[in-house]
Amino acid sequence: MKRWLAIPAFTIAGAALLVFTLYPVVYTLLGSLKTNLELQGGGSFLPSHWEFSNYATAFREVDFLRYSWNSVALSLLTMIFSLVASSLTGYVLARHRFAGKRLLMAAYLSVMFVALGPITLYPQFTLMHSVGLTGNLLGLALVLSAGQSSNIFLTIGFVKGVPKDIDESAYLDGAGYFRIYRSLILPLIRPILGVVALFSFRLAWNDYITSLVFSMPNPAIKPLTVAVVGLRYSANAAAEVNIMTAGAAIALLPMLVVYLFTNRQFISGLMEGAVKS
Amino acid sequence: MRRGTLYLMLAPNLILFLALTVYPIGWALRYMFYRYDGTYRETFIGLGNFNRLLTRDTIYWASLGHTFEYAGGKLLLILPLAFLVAMLLNLPFRGRTAMQAVVFGPTIMSSAVMGLMFYLLFNVYNGDVNRYLMKLHLIHAPINWLGPKLAMLTVVLVAVWEGMGNYMVYFLAGLQTIPKEVYESAAIDGAGYWRRLFAITIPMMGPVVRVVLMLAILASFQDIQSIMVMTGGGPLQKTQVVFLYIYQLFFPIDASTPVQPQIGYGAAASVLTGLILGGITLIYLYISKKLDDLY
């Protein structure tokens, strides 16, 4: 390709890409600082007056402080459950042979290739209801931690990269499997645990449908996503587009800040999975 | 003793898997034979639910059609675009990693929350999309993006925004596995940019494309979060994809009119849909394996 043509062409393509990707986010963040009138009437790109009171209203009057806390607690719980479940399973499946291993691997793998969509929601809900795990964040976090297949296969791949003689010599010295997992494997697979932590945190922070269903019996456990979308259906939604936008910004910002520091792990974690498959 | 430890270590994930994936599937396989509204006792009706699905439920089949329409539209737009962007971001230029991070950015945001924002952006009267198109004199009258004619296109465009970064990263990972020497020796032999693109890049990306296509098909069958927020399946059920329809059979609470849930019927629709979509996935895997043998 001719160089004098290529450089402007790529620059224009790149600029278009940036506008396409960033505009909706910038719109949300700037819009959260506009008055309702300005948002609806279509004023300038920047807010004419920085309306921080939108946030104050959202936090104080629409209870967003509680929803933010719910989102944080839910995401951290899901992250911890996912880390524990997938690191334990990943270690055992990468290192050991036992009866039923092939079946278990096949089962975990196949659910990645079956489109279940929201089919499982109702039975999940009734099951969790019968053991008292609906209407609280613990039950919701357990449900969100359940679809861990891709994290497990990421962990298996990483554990396999750790030299086997390390844990074999520990085994000969009399260390049990759990001990080997906890004091040898866990510290060595920290990079992939970081990726699993990010992926599961993102899953819980952004989840909408499962959270919507599980917070039906108890609106006090609504996470931010459910609360923000719920504003659309409130009685005076049209008069409160600014509050809705501020709520959306509150739901986005923490994840954006996390992403600012961890985007490399996100991308390399995904690449790792892609190359393996 | 030591074996026991292994099974204990497998337990946390296995219990979650059995309770929250296997049990729901078994549950659906039982309830598909029942009429059940969630309150009164269930009654066994044999194949009655399937009879209704196969012969009378036009909404179900329309929604299945919408799923294919949505999935097809999304794949046609998102995969070539993601491929092009991956090629662009594989070039050596300053700020490349920052640009990758930006393009991947939408995938870390809640599709429900962004769906709500897109609902505002695509609003007929005061949405930014129409406002800018009018300012640039590209259109003369506001376009009803979320009206019956264009709603499907709009939800597909939003899906492209939300998912493109993901596929871009897959393609980028694939591009980076092609050894540089192959390009260098081709360049020495006098192959130009386009020649290298069609003779090296695209053939060598074949296996990657097949995996990515599989993942993209599966994802596009399932994503309903942003559709649910933007249109709720409307207007006139034009964006009612099959999983949204099934969701509403189980949880009709969102609807403006109080409707009884149809649990048994929803279970039957779930199983039928699972079989249809699973069948398509298998056909795809079979064809892509055949293609593998051809190369």
pLDDT reported for residue B151: 96
Whether the CB-CB separation of A249 and B117 falls below 8 Å is answered with no
CATH code: domain of residue A219: 1.10.3720.10
* Closest by CA position to B172, among listed B76, B93, B104: B104
Q: How far apart are CA A264 and CA A195, in angstroms?
A: 10
The type of residue at B113 is V
CATH class of this structure's domain B58-252+259-294: mainly alpha
| Highest mean pLDDT of the ranges A96-100, B12-16, B90-94, B186-190 | B12-16
Q: Do B274 and A208 make contact, defined as CB atoms within 8 angstroms?
A: no
B132 in A contact zone (CB under 8 Å): no
Judged by a CB distance cut-off of 8 A, whether residue A96 touches chain B is yes
Cβ within 8 Å, pair B20-A178 = no
Following DSSP, what letter does each residue of A53-113 receive, concatenated?
Answer: HHHHHHHHTS-HHHHHHHHHHHHHHHHHHHHHHHHHHHHHHHH---TTHHHHHHHHHHGGG
| Sign of the CA dihedral with B134 first, then B138, B143, and B146 last | negative
The residue of A101, A267, A275, A277 whose CB has the most chain B CBs within 10 angstroms, and thus the best one to mutate to test that interface, is A267
The total number of structural domains that make up chain A: 1
In a domain, A44, yes or no: no
* Integer CA distances (angstroms), B286 to B20, B232, B279, B292, in order: 29, 35, 10, 10
Host domain of residue A267: 61-276
Measured between beta carbons, which residues in chain B are less than 8 angstroms from residue A91?
9
| Gap from B149 CA to chain A (nearest CA, Å) | 23
CB contact under 8 A, A209 and B91: no
Report the mean per-residue pLDDT for chain B. Answer: 90
| Within a domain: A107 | yes
Q: For residue A42, which residues of chain B lie inside 8 Å, CB to CB? A: 126, 128, 131
- C-alpha B30/C-alpha B26 separation (Å) is 6
Q: Is A8 on the interface with B (CB under 8 A)?
A: no
Per-residue pLDDT of B5-16, as tens digits, reads 999 999 999 999
Which residues from chain B sit within 8 angstroms of residue A256, using beta carbons?
108-109
- The reply to whether omega before B235 is within 30° of 0 (cis) is yes
Predicted pLDDT at B231: 92
Residues 6+ apart with CB under 8 A from A172: none
Q: How confident is the model at residue A1, as a pLDDT?
A: 52
With both helix axes pointing from N to C terminus, report the angle between A190-206 and B111-121 in degrees, rounded to the nearest 10. 50
Nearest Cα of chain B lies from the Cα of A204 at a distance, in angstroms, of 10
Q: How many Cβ atoms are within 10 Å of B282's Cβ, its own excluded?
A: 11
Task: Rounding to the nearest 10 degrees, give the CA dihedral for residues B180, B182, B186, B187.
Answer: 10
Query: How many Å lie between the alpha carbon of B258 and the closest alpha carbon of chain A?
Result: 15
- B251·A213 Cβ contact <8 A: yes
The residues facing A262 across adjacent strands are none
Q: Measured between alpha carbons, how far is B48 from B58 in angstroms, rounded to an integer?
A: 16
Inside any domain, residue A231 = yes
Is A178 strand, coil or helix? helix
- Answer yes or no: is A25 within a domain: no
CB contact under 8 A, A244 and B116: yes
- The radius of gyration computed from the CA coordinates of chain B, to the nearest angstrom, equals 24
- Residue B287, pLDDT > 60, answer yes
DSSP secondary structure string for all residues of B78-130: HHHHHHHHHHHHTS--TTHHHHHHHHHGGGGS-HHHHHHHHHHHT-TTT-HHH
**What is chain A's pLDDT, residue by residue, as a tens digit (277 residues)?**
566 777 888 889 899 999 999 999 999 999 999 888 888 776 678 888 888 888 988 888 888 999 999 999 999 999 999 999 999 999 999 999 998 999 999 999 888 877 777 889 999 999 999 999 998 999 999 999 997 789 999 999 999 999 998 888 888 888 889 999 999 999 999 999 999 999 999 999 999 999 999 999 999 999 999 999 998 887 777 778 889 999 999 999 999 999 999 999 899 888 877 666 5
Q: Residue type for B13, please? A: N
Tokens 């951290």 -> residue: A76
Chain segment B33-89, per-residue pLDDT in tens:
999 988 778 899 999 999 999 999 999 999 999 999 999 999 999 999 999 999 999
> Are the beta carbons of B260 and B37 closer than 8 angstroms?
yes
- Asked if B106 and A21 come within 8 Å (Cβ–Cβ), the reply is yes
- DSSP H helical segments within chain A, as ranges? 3-31, 36-41, 53-60, 64-95, 101-110, 121-130, 137-145, 149-160, 164-172, 177-179, 186-188, 190-206, 209-214, 224-232, 241-276
User: How far off is chain A from B52, nearest CA to CA, in Å?
Assistant: 19
Q: In this predicted structure, what is the pLDDT of residue B11?
A: 95
Distance from CA of B29 to the nearest CA of A (A): 11
How confident is the model at residue B253, as a pLDDT?
Answer: 66
Please give the interface size between A and B, counted as residue pairs whose CB atoms are below 8 Å apart: 251
pLDDT at B270 over 70: yes
CB contact under 8 A, B116 and A271: no
Residue of A84, A96, A259 lying closest to B105 (CB–CB) = A259
CB-nearest partner of B12 from A84, A225, A251: A84
The predicted model gives B199-227 an average pLDDT of 89
B20 touches chain A (CB under 8 A): yes
